[in-house]
Structure 1
Amino acid sequence: MFDVPLMKKNGSLFAGIALLLGAFAGNARAEEMSLQQAVEIALQNNAELQAFRDEKGLREAGRIRAGLLPNPSLEVSLESGALTGNSGENAFSVGVSQEFLLAGKREKRVALAQKELEVYRWQLTDRERLLRLDAKSRFYQVLLAVRKLKLTEGAIELNRHLYQVAKERLAAGDIPELELNLVQVELARSEGARSAALEGLLASRAELSLLLGGKEVEPALPTGSLEAGGAVKQAQAELLRLAQERRPDLMALRAEAEKGSAELSLAKAEGIPNLTAGLGLKRDTTAVEVAGLEGKDTSYTVGLTLSMPIPLFDKNQPGLRESSARRDSAGNRLAAAASRVEREVAAAYASLSNAEQVLSLYFRNIMPQMEENLKLTREAYQLGEVPVLTVFEEQKKYLEVNQGYLDALYQRQLALFKLEAAAAVELTGGVQ
């Protein structure tokens, strides 16, 4: 008897599908891949995540730039009286000037750059969290497709057995030939459903392969069970507390709010002008005529200059308003995100609880009854007590219920993964 919900021998199924998929990919055998391996491969090879990781250099360059001092300026000047008829008179000066940042601007810029780098790191962690959810979901989509393919193979076995019974009854003169033809058509339909299920499996596997990084993981075939996953021991309030403390998107918004305060502090400092100090050496040569004789007199002077803009019109008012607006915006987005996280945890927790109730209903009530109904109907047909159309209808109900059961298994796993992502924890232990 074909038993979908209680299938324990998945090894031969995966081996057969592995060989089949390996043939499609041009390989003799497809390797198996666990859920943990799939997540690790995704985190290492995903192209979008890797591109975002490469942006770390931009933030680090900004931090280095913020800590640099202004470069000194070299000033050289040469004056000559040759064009005005005083060729004996000239002057030469050389000086160095340096701008000094006041009001702690350098320290404030470094602090702001550090906050930008912190925001980036939390954003990267949040992308990894979402990628884990996506990888787990697509991994179990492949497992679901494998089980549905197995279900279509079971339907073929049911129809083959029914075809043999119909042939025997036709030979005994119990049924017309038309009834045997109907069974043969039903067998062909079940074989067509298997082809469609195989196409779905290949499509879901290709999507997983793309998420994991491409062709280098093409031979791998996910292995595992849809029934995997234990009960969640943490209460909803505990998961909400963990989410508020550990969700990387919330941490990124908190860092962004702190970044807004750092920007405002820097904007206030930018309203204070910087001091520029210069040190110069000047040589003056003048021509002196005494008793018809021309002589030259050379003098050297050393000068110190200080300059500072007068903040009469520009006190960095636009920068103050801009940084203040960004700080307030970050605070509002943080408050909204905290409420959203609370709703996500509550919704995921409720979804998981509902999925477990649906599974319990399938396992305890629906599946045993459907199996018994199918068994009795097939026996009744073999004894000539019901028409073949009744068997078709009962098999259809049986397969639809099994498909619903498989979908419920997948929805239960998906709800578990969404709850893990919402709370930013691995419910089997660990932090995302």
Structure 2
Amino acid sequence: MSLPLTLRPGLAAAACALLLAGCAGFTADGGFGTAASAARERLGKDALWVRSDQDRAEVYQRTQALLAQPLDADSAVQIALLNNAGLQAAFAELGISEAEYVQATRLPNPGFSFSRTRQGDDLKIDRAISVGLMNLLVLPLAARIEQDRFSQTRLAVADTLLRHALETRKAFVNAVAAEQSARYAEQVKNAAETGALFARDLARAGNVSALDHAREQAFYADAASQLARARQQALAAREQLTRRLGLWGTGAQYRLPERLPDLPTTRPALADLEGYAIASRLDLQAGRLQLDSLARSLGLTRATRFVSVIDVAYLHNTETAKPRETGYGINIEIPLFDWGGARVARAEAVYMQAASRLAENAINARSEVRETYAGYQARYDIARHYRDEVVPLRKRIADESLLRYNGMLVSVFELLTDARDQVGAVNGYLDALREYWVAETELQGALGGRLPDAGAASSPASPTVPARAGASPSPASAAAAAGPASIAVPKGQ
């Protein structure tokens, strides 16, 4: 605090040292540790905030090593965490937030005014050094508010990273499934072409009717259109994955596996998923920190509602043929028309809005968990049904038809009809398998980035923001956990 210069030098030096000791500096990682921890603990991957040529070189080398082999879901996520420019832009929010926090801890600059007037031979010089006393008084609380916002930003950026990783995994599943379907559609088209040519030759010899010939031609025409559609969908799915990966040029010529992983033989037993999600999701943790910050901001608004401007000035004036004038001045805002009620009402409304949104997000999170888990279970059952029942039955029917065709008991067109039904069963299984892996990824997203370990549903290992010394309990610490809790506006800070 800069006070009138009549203070003893030792006292002034001690006061300045005390204030400067509270000034925050920039951290070594810029607040990126929370996001890096989330990637490491929940995804098993490394995240890097590219801020130097050395970082760019490291990203390039690691990306090239990953692209040297066909991609799998894990390597696709790792490439996306290293290369996606939109994710790097999200990381820059950390630098912005940290700069605002550090700025909030800095002492306000003093003001200096100077005037020089002359009246005939008389010269008058006025000098004044002033400082905003109210700014100094609220400096610790304002710094605490910005520290909370910085912590909130770290959680929000970590949540953005996790969501991008999950979207990348979904894009990978869709791209592999689309290419697999396109290859199968090409096989179907080739088989349909063979059948159509065979039917044409039989029709020319008068061995089949025009109706059977037309049916085979229609099936071939439909198979050709399905192949064109499948190729277009495969291209679109691949480009969506490329955008998630953040690759361009030769880097976009990556190789994908030929097929999706098989359906797992068993499903993990997941219990208490709602509680796990509430404790694990970073967006809810960020909402709690935002509520804490707004509560402190509300206390600051109430404390300064009547007087928000107090300036203390040291005066040093000289005038011709007169003794030097020294002293101090105080400028204070008079709450004559504005008593601060509107600012307090606005702060209270903002706080209640944030509390309601946090409760809404908690309710939505619980509902999302129930919905995605039900979809996860259903899609697993559907894919297993196709794998164990539908596809084997269709294959058995096709084999039996082939035996009867060899025994001249059925016609070739009955054989082709059964083959078409088998094609439909295989396509149904491919779609069901893709939907299962997408459903598993969506469930991971609803739970905060990963599936819980067995027996650990209620105690997730999640990155946390370091606790502040002397932090007081949150005014809504159970808001997200309890769902639509009744949250009262704090009456004093």
Q: Name the structure 1 match of 2:285.
A: 251
Contact 1:273 1:310 (C-alpha < 8 Å) held by counterparts: no
- After superposition, residues 283-294 of structure 1 pair within 5 angstroms as 283-286=318-321
Counterpart of 1:219 (choices 253, 258, 261) is 253
One-letter code aligned to 1:65? Q
Q: Name the structure 1 match of 2:150.
A: 117
Q: Which runs of 5+ in 2 are unaligned?
A: 1-66, 454-460, 464-493
- Are 1:361 and 2:385 matched, yes or no? yes
- After superposition, residues 120-135 of structure 1 pair within 5 angstroms as 120-135=153-168
Q: Name the structure 2 match of 1:58.
A: 96
Q: Name the structure 1 match of 2:111.
A: 73
RMSD of aligned residue pairs (Cα, Å): 3.3
- What is the distance in 1 between the residues matched to 2:281 and 2:183? 39
Counterpart of 1:351 (choices 368, 375, 385) is 375
One-letter code aligned to 2:123? N
Q: Which runs of 5+ in 1 are unaligned?
A: 1-28, 287-297
- 1:149 deviates by 2.8
Q: Name the structure 2 match of 1:302.
A: 326
- 1:165 deviates by 8.7
- Are 1:146 and 2:140 matched, yes or no? no
Q: Name the structure 1 match of 2:481.
A: none
- 1:266 deviates by 1.9
- What is the distance in 1 between the residues matched to 2:239 and 2:115? 71
Q: How many residues end up aligned between the 2 structures?
A: 386
- 1:408 deviates by 0.9
* SS across alignment from 2:320: strand
- After superposition, residues 31-430 of structure 1 pair within 5 angstroms as 32-82=70-120, 87=121, 89-101=122-134, 104-155=137-188, 158=191, 175-176=207-208, 190=223, 193-216=226-249, 217-223=251-257, 225-227=260-262, 229=264, 231-237=266-272, 239-271=273-305, 272-286=307-321, 298-427=322-451
The 1:123/1:231 distance shift into structure 2, 3 A limit, reads: farther
- 1:163 deviates by 8.1
Contact 1:236 1:349 (C-alpha < 8 Å) held by counterparts: no
One-letter code aligned to 1:201? A
One-letter code aligned to 1:281? H
* SS across alignment from 1:385: coil
One-letter code aligned to 2:386? Y
One-letter code aligned to 1:308? I
Contact 1:378 1:391 (C-alpha < 8 Å) held by counterparts: yes
- What is the distance in 2 between the residues matched to 1:95 and 1:191? 87
Q: Which deviates the most, 32-41 or 215-224?
A: 215-224
- 1:369 deviates by 1.2
- 1:47 deviates by 3.4
One-letter code aligned to 1:255? L
Identity of paired residues, percent?
21
The 1:248/1:383 distance shift into structure 2, 3 A limit, reads: same
- What is the distance in 1 between the residues matched to 2:217 and 2:119? 115
Q: Which deviates the most, 180-189 or 140-149?
A: 180-189
- 1:91 deviates by 3.0
One-letter code aligned to 2:375? S
The 1:58/1:316 distance shift into structure 2, 3 A limit, reads: farther
One-letter code aligned to 1:77? S
The 1:191/1:108 distance shift into structure 2, 3 A limit, reads: same
- 1:241 deviates by 1.7
- What is the distance in 2 between the residues matched to 1:382 and 1:162? 17
- 1:428 deviates by 7.8
* SS across alignment from 2:398: helix
Alpha-carbon displacement from aligned partner over 1:324-365 (angstroms, at most 9, x marks no partner)? 111111111111111111111111111111112212322222
Q: Name the structure 1 match of 2:59.
A: none
* SS across alignment from 1:407: helix
- What is the distance in 2 between the residues matched to 1:31 and 1:182? 44
Alpha-carbon displacement from aligned partner over 1:357-399 (angstroms, at most 9, x marks no partner)? 2123222222211101011112323333223332232112111
* SS across alignment from 1:222: coil
The 1:282/1:228 distance shift into structure 2, 3 A limit, reads: same
Contact 2:107 2:136 (C-alpha < 8 Å) held by counterparts: no
Higher strand share: 1
- What is the distance in 1 between the residues matched to 2:316 and 2:328? 9
